[in-house]
Amino acid sequence: MTAPYRSPWMTDELDMLRTTARRFFEDEVAPRAAKFRAQHHIDRDVWQRAGELGLLCMSIPEEYGGQGATFAHEVVVMEEQARICDTTFGFIPGAVNGPAFFFETANEEQRKRWMPDIASGRKMLSVCITEPDAGTDVKAMRTTARKEGDGYVLNGNKIFITHGQQAELSLVAARTGGTGSGAKGISLFMVEREKTDGFRINKVLEKVGQNGLDTCEIFLDNVYVPAENLIGGSEGRGFGQLMDVFVRERLSIGVVGITCAERAIELTVEHTKNRKMLGQTLWDFQNSRFTLAECLTEARIGRIFIDKLVADLVEGRPLDPNDAMMAKWWGSEKQCQIIDRCLQLFGGYGYMTEYPIAQLYMDARVARIYGGSNETLKDLIARSM
């Protein structure tokens, strides 16, 4: 048997982090994952425990409460979460991309004001961008921010907001210019929920998968925010700010996609080698071996591409937006395809939610939709050709 694949960017320090992250997910998250799915949110003590362990906002500089680490550190935690087939702990939206959205767009005073509480786990952050008629097409946004006195009044409707119910802080995209202003009319605001009225959770949405996340529909009804909560301090910069941060979000989705595919293969190899059928194991059937060999090959191709992009970030090379889009659509497509093929080899057991392969299957489907639908990303890639 060949040696297990090891990503070239791995180090001894990252191995130690992997041990910590694995213990956290096995001890704190896995035993309660069914509870989190039933109640549609995690328990806050688990989130705060992650903060105590330094697992939140790892790539945020230390002076703002983070660990001053690299994107590779965050990838290790994503991989360990995928290993237990979990999405109930909102690591990507709450510990990686939400904080990155805020940090990369905020000014110095705003970073010092809010970032330490986010990084420690004392406060959760939600990012409110998507609307019923403006998902991938952010420029179609209708939520407005009207200048009034020393602040702004926000009105509108947001949907599919992760951590929408639990978060004390919400980064809200709104239009400070008219609808004719397109991308140039969008700004970002920090809404401090305990300091304002009119921020209303309409409902926690029922989803096909990822049910441990409190994904919400939100109404903003005359929500007042002071001028100092305008992120970056200038109007009309929101669209450009969002596009810059989407790059790393898309790579994160690709990372998780390939990692979940790899985990599905591991589970299926174990199952087929133990499952008896017609006087032999499932593994003894050529179809099983060929299927898994094909799955492993496709996952490895994706893994090597992902590793190259992670290494680029770690070594300080800028990430090409097209590469991030390719990683996202390829990783999420292979995630869904490979998990589906693996589930087939479980037979009826693969359809039972108590089996991890079934959880992987349910949680995977949305990956082809969020972060920019795969069809839209392919169109954007084609425009650069």
Positions marked active-site: 249
| CA pair distance 248, 329, nearest whole angstrom | 13
CA-wise closest residue to 255 among 92, 375, 126, 119: 92
The H or E element containing residue 353 is: none
Is 242:189 a contact under the CB 8 Å cutoff?
no
Is 264:360 a contact under the CB 8 Å cutoff?
yes
Per-position DSSP letters for 225-273, written without gaps between them: EEGGGBGGG-TT-HHHHHHHHHHHHHHHHHHHHHHHHHHHHHHHHHHHH
Is 93:31 a contact under the CB 8 Å cutoff?
no
Distance between the two ends of the chain, CA-based, in angstroms? 42
Q: What is the largest CA-CA distance in the chain?
A: 79
Burial degree of 201 (CB within 10 A; 0-12, 13-18, 19+): middle
Contacts 24+ apart (CB under 8 A), 41-44: 41/165, 41/166, 41/204, 41/212, 41/213, 41/214, 42/88, 42/89, 42/90, 42/212, 44/124, 44/166
